[in-house]
Amino acid sequence: MESRMNREERIERLKSIIREVPDFPKEGISFKDITPLIRDASCFSDAIDLLVEEVAPYKPDVIISAEARGFVVGAALAPRLHCGLILVRKPGKLPWKTMSVTYDLEYGTDTLEMHEDSLQAGERVLLADDVLATGGTVAALVQLVEKSQAVPVAGCFLAELSFLQGREKLDGIPVHSLISY
């Protein structure tokens, strides 16, 4: 079915399957739930195909994704882009020597870690996650990449909450989002 639709129709199809959950995780927030999209094999495959079309020109050496839903997107992209995947986790979850970055949240701070030998200086790194919201998590990924002297070449997301202006935290790194709210 996707092949007979143009790009905009394909994206609208994907957008229509994302569930909106009011007042989650707290009152006043309208959560964009991607689980119905990844449950549908055709839609998920199409979403990944569309992202690959956008980010392949960056020729990444590796993808970096944060737990948990970022892993889903990064793992689907990596083989199609012929590159590896680096998993970034909360403290204490990785078995080897780690490097970390602490970043600000709306109500405090959080920390992310990756193995210290995950990236090599000069490697081209694609940032991948499910949703770009405030940009805090992806900005932390950029910090980890830069601490490793690697190069963040672009960020890609299934969806973006553009009203939260998260892309501004990426300081000029190109951002590719299939769906914008």
Residues annotated as catalytic are: 69, 106
Measured CA distances, 175 to 26, 116, 154 (Å): 27, 26, 6
Residue 11 in tokens? 């994206």
Q: For residues 122 and 11, is the Cβ–Cβ distance under 8 A? A: no
Separation of alpha carbons 133 and 135, rounded Å: 5
Measured CA distances, 173 to 33, 40, 142, 143 (Å): 26, 31, 9, 12
Q: Where are the beta strands (DSSP E) in the chain?
A: 19-22, 30-33, 62-66, 84-88, 98-105, 108-115, 124-132, 151-160, 175-180
Strand partners, 151: 124
